Amino acid sequence: MNIALLTSEIAVVILALLIIIFDLLLPRQETRRSLGAFAVCGLLGILVYTFSQYGISATVYHGFFVVDTFALFFKQLFIVATILTLLFSLDYVEKMTRNAGEFYALLLLGLVGMMVMASATDLLTLFVGLELMTIVFYVLVGFDLKSVKSSEAGIKYAILGSASSAVFLYGVSWIYGFTGNIMLSQIAEHITASPAVLFGMGLMIAGFCFKLSIVPFHMWAPDVYEGAPIPVTAMLAMASKAAGFAIVLRVFFVAFNDLQMYWLPIVSALAGLSMVVGIVGAIWQKNTKRMLAYSSIAQAGYILSGMLAANPAGVKGMLVYAVLYMVANVGAFAVTLAVYNQCGSDDIEDLSGLSQKSPLLAVVMTVSLMSMAGLPPMAGFVGKMYIFMAIADSGYLWLAILGLVMSMISVYYYILVVRAMYSNAVKDQQIFTMSGSLRIVALLSLIATLFIGIYPAPLATLANAAAMALW
């Protein structure tokens, strides 16, 4: 067994353990902020190392764990999302809890679960990675013990998440029982369209859809997003959603590829419903995090629709859009956190007059929201263009048109936020302050969103290589 292929996962685990040890040994007042900086530096080193693994296509322990371009693409996305989340949340975590070391360590262990999911090539390893990630998020969602909303969200997420995991595992047991295998490639060799196999596949789809907050399995997202600490909400919206799509793509295009005629109609219906329900639900929201929760439901529908192409072009569009969604989302959550730090609330009304108090943050929020709406020249336009072109060429023109119409409707509720920032009067005359790290994240989000929208070729090339690895 080539342990060197597990270097990045082992390094993240060691980093988490070191943070726990330093948190215990060093004086508490000195460690809170420095632990976050240490985690960021460690992850930057691991991110740089992962680039040396490109070109490798090897497995560990009889093929249960693979390191290929597809897995590396998602691992780098997870690491970048975690780094950005850590950077903009240093001050918030310091104020939220005295146990900052535990928070950072849990976030890193959740990252390990996502990385395992990206490389899993059997249902058991996949489930272990999935549960490592979700159990960590159960804790993190309810981490703010001073907030009743956080505790309530943690309990809701744990109960509903446990139920969805049970449904998913029950589906896995049916697939294993009627194929005799848990390896995805071997399942593909023995799969048949029997009622038992289709039933198991249906249960697995339900479990996946819950993790991705796909309609009608989205009921947990608005309450959990609103109640969770803002950095945790950001990770749920960005990294955990991307991890869910990583395993969905590998499972359905490797194990269930021969059953496309059965799952493609289901996926098309789920994607269309998510677009409509997510966008209609977002229109009525007064809380920024709830609005972003419904927006994430719609965005998940856009990404999921890329599966309907059932070819590398569709997967390429999904990967590109996952990155662009992360870039835009981190900017929106950074601004939300900055406003929360200032006034202690995350309602849309609290953004009133932000353009006067902090022009940079107002521009970042505007560009992020317009990117999620898919307006050029922002990056979101490129991602939606790739997906809609791929599914239209595969005979799903109606869904591409629906996605386009829903994107135009989404501009309405995004504009409501922009209007509050630029047209409403300032709620208070308090001087607006924010940390240097938060300002850096906001600038990075702004630059990346505009740069990728204008020049998407490097990202598209990398995404295409990752998509081809599945075939």
Higher-pLDDT residue of 471 and 400 is 400
What average pLDDT does the segment 63-73 reach? 90
Compute the mean pLDDT over every residue in the chain, rounded to the nearest whole number.
Answer: 90
The three-state secondary structure class of 279 is: helix
Does residue 128 register a pLDDT over 80? yes
Cα–Cα distances in Å, from 371 out to 163, 211, 324, 439? 34, 24, 8, 19
Confidence label for 93 from pLDDT (cuts 50, 70 and 90): confident
Confidence label for 28 from pLDDT (cuts 50, 70 and 90): low
Confidence label for 7 from pLDDT (cuts 50, 70 and 90): very high
Element (H, E) at 60: strand 58-60
**Radius of gyration of the chain from its Cα atoms, rounded to whole angstroms:** 21
Q: Which amino acid is at 299?
A: Q
- Low-confidence winner among 222-231, 343-352, 435-444 (lowest mean pLDDT): 343-352
Do the Cβ atoms of 321 and 383 come closer than 8 Å? yes
Distant-in-sequence contacts of 162-168, Cβ < 8 A, 24+ apart: 164/206, 164/207, 164/210, 164/211, 164/217, 165/130, 165/131, 165/134, 165/207, 167/203, 167/206, 167/207, 167/210, 168/127, 168/130, 168/203, 168/204, 168/206, 168/207, 168/208
Query: Model pTM?
Result: 0.94
What DSSP character marks residue 181? -
Does residue 35 register a pLDDT over 90? no
pLDDT for the residue numbered 437 = 85
Confidence label for 448 from pLDDT (cuts 50, 70 and 90): very high
Do the Cβ atoms of 449 and 378 come closer than 8 Å? yes
CB atoms near residue 269 (< 10 Å): 12
Q: Which residues pair with 59 in a beta bridge?
A: 66
Task: Report pLDDT digits (tens) over 390-438.
Answer: 999 988 999 999 999 999 999 988 998 999 899 877 776 677 778 888 8
Q: How far apart are the C-alpha atoms of 453 and 457, rounded to whole Å?
A: 10
pLDDT for the residue numbered 347 = 85
Does residue 32 register a pLDDT over 80? no
> What percentage of residues in the chain have a pLDDT greater than 70?
98
User: What's the length of the chain?
Assistant: 471
Place of tokens 């479990």: 207
Task: Report pLDDT digits (tens) over 277-300.
Answer: 999 999 988 889 999 999 999 999
CB atoms near residue 176 (< 10 Å): 15
* Domain spans, the chain: 261-471
Place of tokens 């529908």: 301
CB neighbour list of residue 135: distance below 8 Å, 6 or more residues apart: none
* Angle between helices 69-88 and 312-343 in degrees, nearest 10: 10
pLDDT for the residue numbered 438 = 87
Q: How far apart are the C-alpha atoms of 349 and 159, rounded to whole Å?
A: 32
Do the Cβ atoms of 247 and 117 come closer than 8 Å? yes
> What percentage of residues in the chain have a pLDDT greater than 90?
65
Confidence label for 29 from pLDDT (cuts 50, 70 and 90): low
Confidence label for 352 from pLDDT (cuts 50, 70 and 90): confident
- Low-confidence winner among 14-18, 26-30, 96-100, 311-315 (lowest mean pLDDT): 26-30
Does residue 216 register a pLDDT over 60? yes
What average pLDDT does the segment 370-397 reach? 91
pLDDT for the residue numbered 59 = 84
pLDDT for the residue numbered 97 = 73
Does residue 210 register a pLDDT over 60? yes
pLDDT for the residue numbered 444 = 93
What average pLDDT does the segment 224-246 reach? 91
pLDDT for the residue numbered 54 = 85
Confidence label for 31 from pLDDT (cuts 50, 70 and 90): low
Q: Which stretches of 344-435 are DSSP H helices?
A: 354-357, 359-373, 379-393, 397-422
pLDDT for the residue numbered 429 = 67
Does residue 301 register a pLDDT over 70? yes
Does residue 78 register a pLDDT over 90? yes
pLDDT for the residue numbered 183 = 92
- Closest C-alpha among 306, 309, 300 to residue 318: 306
